[in-house]
Amino acid sequence: MSGLGALGCNVEGSLSTADRTRSLDLTSYIEKEHSSLVENGQIARASSESIGFRVSEVLLSQGDSYSGSLLGNMPEGSGKYVWSDGCMYDGDWRRGMRHGVGKMQWPSGAIYEGEFSSDYMHGTGTYIGRDRINYRGRWRLNLKHGLGYQTYPSGDIFEGSWIQGAIEGPGKYIWANGNVYLGNMKGGKMSGKGTLTWTNGDSYEGSWLDGMMHGFGVYAWCDGGRYVGTWTRGLKDGKGAYYPNGSKLPAAQELYLNALRKRGLLPDLRNKSRGSHIRHATSVDLGNMKIVDNQGSRRTSTEKLRKGNLINLEQSQTRNVSLERRWSLEVAIEKVIGNDLSLNSGDSMLEGSEKDDENAPILEREYMQGVLISELVLNSFSSSSRRARKRQKKLAKEIKRPGETIIKGHRSYDLMLSLQLGIRYTVGKITPIQRREVRTSDFGPRASFWMNFPKAGSQLTPTHQSEDFRWKDYCPMVFRNLREMFKIDAADYMMSICGNDGLRELSSPGKSGSVFFLSQDDRFMIKTLRKSEVKVLLRMLPDYHHHVHTYENTLVTKFFGLHRIKPSSGQKFRFVVMGNMFCTELRIHRRFDLKGSSLGRSADKVEIDENTILKDLDLNYSFYLEPSWREALLKQIEIDSRFLETQHIMDYSLLLGVHYRAPQHLRSVSTYQRSITAERLAVLVEGNSTFIADTLTVNT
């Protein structure tokens, strides 16, 4: 698919020297250089007398030329400027800058025709790259930004949202072969909720991450078979139900899936028209497909204007790519009641399917990293049966995400809106500031700023639906530096916390009574703090900054921001934004909070699931690490513990996430290629099962 390679196509790449263009400000040229102009073959010295409005042809000494109207010594009105390297602009000018409607051409053959503002491509315009990628839509400061429609040389089409030059938010991608994706995009990849439909009738409806099926979803084959379950990085992972060809999805299951769509756990995009209103959202992925490069060479596509009156359109790298189905990862060989069901090469048709709807079996399956490890054959059941209700309840528990999604009417809805507005303002305000080293003056209670957010909005703040509030941001330069140190992109940070998806509120797992919020992508956790806790954090912030800067592999919690909200009527709320260490590419099957003591250190819950926080007495595994890893881990724990001790912090825990890896003898060849062997992962053994301890961190 030339699609996904080209999905990231924007005007932010870099040009070769030969392709670069230059734009001279006539004012600075004449006033600063006092160079000669050649007019009608005669050499004339520029003078202060040429101030009035006139139409003229001007040839500059370096070979550039301008023909059109001038006001004084600056282009004004309509005119044509030709650079010595072959670039040309023909259109409106204002105060020596391209402003209005015009057409820009490059020697490479690329063309932009549309609106300009203050020398930038800004507004609505059409861009045709030298590789014939065609974009029609909105621009902002030389970048695609807003709604747009892009076609590729292969015949692929994308229609949707762009942010800062990248495909971001809801959109529709149509491949030349007829495959269609409708859903959320992030960084040019399918990510979030979306539906992918193949030309043969197969479809996947569910969650995506970085172009792969990830989370809860439903895969439907064209012959009527369905699999309802969870995926991890493109592989089936966890429990699910398979309804083969000939079986009917029970009415209770249909109602259940519809309820999931209403709750937002499944996309509800199937009936939306192509021209439906598109809002900025999160992201999109490519599930059971792989991108195959058809050409070894990369080709440039678009070009960008550079700031400072330099017409410098840069190109981005794209690839001519195609898609292939990865059936080995999508479907295991089916064995139902003694009948071997095989997959046809391209269309996933099942042989030997059941004819009788009433007697067709339902298979309850469990996968581990794409490997089928258990299967239970059930008779089809009616929606009214007790067994059906039991199984639906169990399945609901399997996919339950921690926390309660905050929607309008929720007790924390106004607080969430205020928090999102404040963080968006803070990050947007500080990101453009030139990066510098943190100073002593950047620490402490006085290194903060505040901003009023009236409901009606102001010159600096937007209108909003929450009540009036006052926002305070502590040590913004320090936390910006920390976010960069922890490799957190500012745009991703805002989209994760402040995107269209609401936060989730968690019940307090500790004795502090704090309220916890979790971003929808699980990357960030927000915790309420008492005033005394804020003082402690501000006091230790200089030492904390030095510690995490010195020890790259520190296990201490990562802090990304410290804020305060004061509603016009009500108490103050103080928040700290932290990293969620349980958000990993691997599925976390068990979570432990370890303190090194035994008194009361066991979980109260009888039924243990993936979201249960287990304690010291619940840990019955032995961890075996390579000697060098073991030594490094123990040394880092000792260093971090010593740091917490110097800060007079006594109550802290070691959080441990455990990922259960598929047993060695069950791993398929295709899965084994994606296996996660041993990159700083602790391996442990219990009986005949092999596990991976995925993540370790210290949490105060």
- pLDDT number for residue 262: 60
463 and 496 both lie in a single domain: yes
Q: Which of 270, 294, 323 is the last residue of a domain?
A: 323
How much of the chain, in percent, has pLDDT values that exceed 70?
66
Burial track 100-123 (b if 16+ CB lie within 10 A, e otherwise): eebbbbbebebbbebbbbebbbbe
Q: Which of 147-161, 260-274, 293-307, 568-582 has the highest mean pLDDT?
A: 147-161
149 and 179 both lie in a single domain: yes
pLDDT above 50: residue 231 = yes
Q: What is the mean pLDDT of residues 206-219?
A: 89
**Span of 213-227, 300-314, 369-383 with lowest mean pLDDT:** 300-314
193 and 294 both lie in a single domain: yes
pLDDT band at 139 (very low <50, low <70, confident <90, very high): very high
**Which residue stretches of 204-268 are H helix?**
251-263
- pLDDT number for residue 267: 60
φ, ψ of residue 545 in degrees (nearest 5) = -60, -45
- pLDDT number for residue 499: 79
- Burial class for 266, CB neighbours closer than 10 Å (0-12, 13-18, 19+): buried
Higher pLDDT, 393 or 52: 52
- pLDDT number for residue 102: 95
Distance between CA 114 and CA 126 in Å, rounded? Answer: 6
Q: Is residue 195 within 8 Å of residue 269, measured between CB atoms? A: yes
Higher pLDDT, 684 or 68: 68
In a domain, 13, yes or no: yes
Q: Which of 49-53, 111-115, 247-251, 609-613 has the highest mean pLDDT?
A: 111-115
pLDDT above 70: residue 489 = yes
- Residue 6 tokens read as 């080209």
Distance between CA 561 and CA 525 in Å, rounded? Answer: 11
550 and 613 both lie in a single domain: no
In a domain, 228, yes or no: no
Distance between CA 123 and CA 137 in Å, rounded? Answer: 8
Among 303, 314, 302, 311, CA closest to 118: 311
In a domain, 398, yes or no: no
90 and 169 both lie in a single domain: yes
Higher pLDDT, 380 or 616: 616
Higher pLDDT, 485 or 396: 485
pLDDT band at 665 (very low <50, low <70, confident <90, very high): very low
Mean pLDDT, all residues of the chain: 71
- pLDDT number for residue 242: 83
Distance between CA 361 and CA 339 in Å, rounded? Answer: 12
- pLDDT number for residue 56: 80
111 and 152 both lie in a single domain: yes
- pLDDT number for residue 541: 94
- Provide the whole-model pTM: 0.48
In a domain, 288, yes or no: yes
Among 661, 591, 599, 587, CA closest to 619: 591
Q: What is the mean pLDDT of residues 160-179?
A: 91
pLDDT band at 479 (very low <50, low <70, confident <90, very high): very high
CATH number at residue 551: 3.30.800.10
- pLDDT number for residue 213: 87
- pLDDT number for residue 540: 93
In a domain, 248, yes or no: no
138 and 186 both lie in a single domain: yes
pLDDT band at 390 (very low <50, low <70, confident <90, very high): low
- Return the H-helix or E-strand segment holding 692: strand 689-699
Give Cα 10 distance to the centre of its chain. 17
* pLDDT tens sequence across 273-324: 333 333 333 333 333 333 333 333 333 333 333 333 333 333 333 333 333 3
- Return the H-helix or E-strand segment holding 330: helix 327-330
Look up residue 586 and give its DSSP letter: S
Q: What is the mean pLDDT of residues 5-22?
A: 33
pLDDT band at 105 (very low <50, low <70, confident <90, very high): very high
Burial track 285-311 (b if 16+ CB lie within 10 A, e otherwise): bbbbbebeeeeeeebbbbbbbbeebeb
- Residue 688 tokens read as 């005949």
pLDDT above 80: residue 490 = yes
Contacts of 636 (CB under 8 A, 6+ apart): 551, 553, 554, 555
Q: Which of 526, 549, 579 is the last residue of a domain?
A: 579
C-alpha distances in Å from residue 184, one per residue of 318, 488, 489, 515 = 21, 21, 19, 29
- Residue 152 tokens read as 């590729």
Helices and strands (H and E) in the chain: how many = 11, 42
Q: Which residue has the tokens 């995107």?
A: 499
- pLDDT number for residue 680: 29
- Burial class for 612, CB neighbours closer than 10 Å (0-12, 13-18, 19+): middle
- Residue 354 tokens read as 């059941």
E strand map for 295-445: 299-300, 317-318, 321-325, 334-336, 339-341, 362-368, 371-378, 404-405
- Residue 522 tokens read as 């699980």
φ, ψ of residue 291 in degrees (nearest 5) = -95, 125
Higher pLDDT, 307 or 138: 138
**Span of 112-116, 195-199, 498-502, 521-525 with lowest mean pLDDT:** 498-502
Paired residues of 409 in beta bridges: none
Contacts of 104 (CB under 8 A, 6+ apart): 87, 88, 89, 91, 98, 111, 112, 113, 121, 305, 311, 313
For helices 476-485 and 531-550, the axis angle rounded to 10 degrees is 40
Distance between CA 94 and CA 70 in Å, rounded? Answer: 10
In a domain, 451, yes or no: yes
pLDDT above 90: residue 92 = yes
Contacts of 311 (CB under 8 A, 6+ apart): 21, 22, 23, 83, 87, 89, 98, 104, 119, 305
- pLDDT number for residue 316: 35
CATH number at residue 16: 2.60.450.20
Q: What is the span of the domain harbouring residue 313?
A: 2-214+282-323
In a domain, 472, yes or no: yes
pLDDT band at 380 (very low <50, low <70, confident <90, very high): very low
Look up residue 617 and give its DSSP letter: G
Higher pLDDT, 482 or 60: 482
- pLDDT number for residue 613: 83
pLDDT above 90: residue 652 = no
Distance between CA 287 and CA 202 in Å, rounded? Answer: 12
487 and 573 both lie in a single domain: yes
CATH number at residue 640: 3.30.810.10
Number of domain units in the chain:
3
- pLDDT number for residue 658: 87
435 and 547 both lie in a single domain: yes
- Residue 110 tokens read as 């690329």
pLDDT band at 149 (very low <50, low <70, confident <90, very high): very high
pLDDT band at 394 (very low <50, low <70, confident <90, very high): low
Q: Which of 544, 579, 614 is the last residue of a domain?
A: 579
Strands 36-39 and 42-45: antiparallel
Distance between CA 15 and CA 567 in Å, rounded? Answer: 50
459 and 541 both lie in a single domain: yes
94 and 177 both lie in a single domain: yes
91 and 209 both lie in a single domain: yes
- pLDDT number for residue 392: 54
Distance between CA 459 and CA 208 in Å, rounded? Answer: 38
- pLDDT number for residue 345: 33
pLDDT above 80: residue 538 = yes
Q: Is residue 70 within 8 Å of residue 53, measured between CB atoms? A: yes
- Residue 603 tokens read as 């979980």
Distance between CA 127 and CA 106 in Å, rounded? Answer: 11
Q: What is the mean pLDDT of residues 370-374?
A: 73
In a domain, 411, yes or no: yes
* pLDDT tens sequence across 410-452: 888 888 999 998 998 888 888 778 888 889 998 988 888 888 8
- pLDDT number for residue 464: 86
